[in-house]
Amino acid sequence: MSSTILELAIADAIQHGKALLKFISPNDVGTTGSHQTGYYLPKKAAHLFTPHPADKGQNHNHPVKILWQDGRETESMVKWYGKGTRSEYRITRFGRDFPFLTPDCIGDLLMLVPQDESTIHGYDLDRDDDIEELQAALGVDVIGTWALYDASAPPSPESEEECISRHYAEFSRVLTAFPSTSQFSEQARMAILECLPDITGKKSDVQLIRYLESEYALFRIVERLLCQNEITRLFKDVDDFIKTAAKLMNRRKARAGRSLENHVEFILRKNGVPFDMRPDIDGKPDIVIPGKAQYDDNSYPTSKLFIVGVKTTCKDRWRQVLNEAKRIPHKHILTTQAGISKNQLTEMHKSKVSLIVPELIQKQYPADSGIKLLSLDGFISFIHGVIPQS
């Protein structure tokens, strides 16, 4: 069920047409030892919040008022640091007892909606359902650490490779209905594998992120093509509008979750990891290694059985794996969520849950947690060490 804060955040972003979505990182809350707290602003998004350019050798300050979801207001500052070795934008000055910039907020989704030159609306979403619902409602996938919502900019294929654009166009041109999620995943990989043949020589972590980005771009093109008439028509009434919007959002959420599963499945098979996807065993886990037959065989050593939950976000959903495949005491979760708090990592560790996180995203996790994160390549190597390839 949608929260009131989520509904306000969605309406606010749509009304104003632009918003920055970013996962709160250890660097934001000051747990990396940098002695600098405040939300980091990507340079490509800074123009939404300050008129000052990124001048090398200069510092700039731009005062702003931020209205937060709980009614509080902060007299904050958008700062550009250009002197010395620094080169970054950051929002600072939130006052004492500010609740949305603590270590427990790591992994929350921050959304900043510019109202005018000196006023911003701020939202902190800490529930997995709300985070996914917001991205689906705005049609934005935060793959990595941040993304921009811009209603005035039509989605476009990745302009860096005309080859990929051609693949997208050829696939989309003949469609009259939405393909399945597996078809989206397959077509996105085909474009990348043919147009960027060197991708197969890169780490599995890099491949996974690239496939996810490719599929998201393809989905946006298809969605715009097939849904344009549906969303611009004259609605019968409010219920008709709500029904249409819910249909779009549910499709977006379903694709995002299954997309990660599809590409993880492809990479594991390509690397010779034996597994069954969504086997019918207790709890119905996403992945069981080496498979259902071995899990059902009580003589098969438990030390060679593994469960992997595949989740785009897992701030509160990680506990679901505790009730899956109960024969396996130690669980794994593969996620692309950019950051989880130190306390949550500690709780996962105590519950015998290990995280598999692409290397590109691991820097967004607290470095002082003392808990090792596995990369996708590291996990594959670990499995090969326990279950040698035949």
Q: Which domain range does residue 362 map to?
A: 276-386
Domain annotation covers residue 360: yes
Mean pLDDT over 108-123 rounds to: 96
CATH of residue 304: 3.40.91.80
Tokens of 266: 């492809």
pLDDT tens readout for residues 291-314: 999 999 999 999 999 999 999 998
What's the confidence (pLDDT) of residue 175? 86
270, 303, 321 - which closes a domain: 270
Identify residue 337 by its one-letter amino acid code. Q
If you ran DSSP here, which 8-state letter would residue 97 be given?
T
Question: How far is Cα 371 from Cα 390, in angstroms, rounded to an integer?
Answer: 32
Both 35 and 61 in one domain: the answer is yes
Place of tokens 């010395």: 84
Mean pLDDT over 10-33 rounds to: 91
pLDDT tens readout for residues 162-215: 788 888 888 888 888 888 999 999 999 999 998 888 898 999 999 999 999 999
Place of tokens 């594991």: 268
CATH of residue 28: 2.40.330.10
CB 208 within 8 A of CB 264: yes
Residues 48, 49, 55: CA angle, nearest 5 degrees: 95
Among the listed residues 157, 173, 174, the one whose alpha carbon sits nearest the alpha carbon of residue 165:
157
CB 112 within 8 A of CB 69: no
Domain annotation covers residue 155: no
In this predicted model, which residue has the larger pLDDT, 159 or 357? 357
What's the confidence (pLDDT) of residue 172? 87
The region of weakest confidence among 167-171, 242-246, 315-319 is 242-246
pTM score, two decimals? 0.78
Q: Give alpha helix (H) positions in the chain.
A: 4-16, 26-29, 128-138, 162-173, 181-195, 204-232, 238-270, 292-296, 342-350, 359-362, 376-386
Both 125 and 180 in one domain: the answer is no
150, 174, 205 - which closes a domain: 150
Domain annotation covers residue 176: yes
Total domains, the chain: 3
Both 138 and 76 in one domain: the answer is yes
| φ, ψ of residue 327 in degrees (nearest 5) | -65, -25
How far is residue 104 from each of residues 34, 111, 330, 342, measured CA to CA in Å?
18, 17, 24, 7
Both 11 and 134 in one domain: the answer is yes
| φ, ψ of residue 293 in degrees (nearest 5) | -60, -45
